[in-house]
Amino acid sequence: MSEKTINHPIIGGVIEGFRRVGLFYNTPTFPADQIAAWEKEFGVQFPSSYRETIDYGSYDKNTFHFIEPFRDKKNPAFIIFASWNNDQFAFDTNERNSAGEYPVYILLDGLEPEKRYRDFPEWFQMVFNMTDRPINPE
């Protein structure tokens, strides 16, 4: 079996950060064949940064989870892929950039979707930054 590698420098750094703080596990969140099946089902290609991240391992932060992707009922262009507490995070599949990335929106009940991150790597870096900070900095 060949060793999996991460090609995206930001994603590689974030994964090493999760590993350093003991929140990374070598078991894929979702394997490549499952990701490919979802891409076929939704008729989209997920960003390579996202595919590498969830196929490479899993990340444990109690209230943060990568979830089985699904289309948002109010806006089918949004594919929800993660949750953190009551927040949901979605790719806007109408806004693919030249690098194959989609912006990440935050979806909160009762509010309009808000574009927060230009792409998955920026969003994943934020997730790690939030998990790596002390709960009580005093």
Q: How far is CA 135 from the centre of its chain?
A: 23
pLDDT at 134: 62
Among 83-87, 99-103, 111-115, 134-138, the range with the most confident prediction by mean pLDDT is: 99-103
For the ranges 9-18, 43-52, 57-66, which has the lowest average pLDDT? 57-66
Give the total number of structural domains in the chain.
Answer: 1
First to last CA, the chain: 46
pLDDT at 23: 86
Is the predicted pLDDT of residue 34 greater than 90, yes or no?
A: yes
Q: Rounded mean pLDDT of the chain?
A: 88
pLDDT at 135: 54
Establish if 8 belongs to a structural domain.
no
**Mind listing the pLDDT tens digit for each residue in 54-68?**
999 998 777 888 999
Establish if 1 belongs to a structural domain.
no
Mean pLDDT of 66-95: 94
Task: Give residue 62's domain range.
Answer: 23-131
Please state the pTM of the whole predicted model.
0.88
Q: Which amino acid is at 84?
A: W
Is the predicted pLDDT of residue 71 greater than 90, yes or no?
A: yes
Question: How long, in residues, is the chain?
Answer: 138
Q: What whole-number percentage of the chain has pLDDT above 70?
A: 93
Establish if 111 belongs to a structural domain.
yes
Establish if 109 belongs to a structural domain.
yes
Measured CA distances, 83 to 3, 76, 88 (Å): 29, 17, 4
Q: How far is CA 138 from the centre of its chain?
A: 31
What is the helix (H) or strand (E) element at residue 18, kind and residue range?
helix 9-20
Mean pLDDT of 42-55: 95
Mean pLDDT of 40-51: 96
Q: What is the DSSP string of 67-107?
A: EEEEE-SS-TTEEEEEEETTEEEEEETT---TTS---EEEE
pLDDT at 131: 77
Domain of 105, CATH number, reads 3.40.1580.10
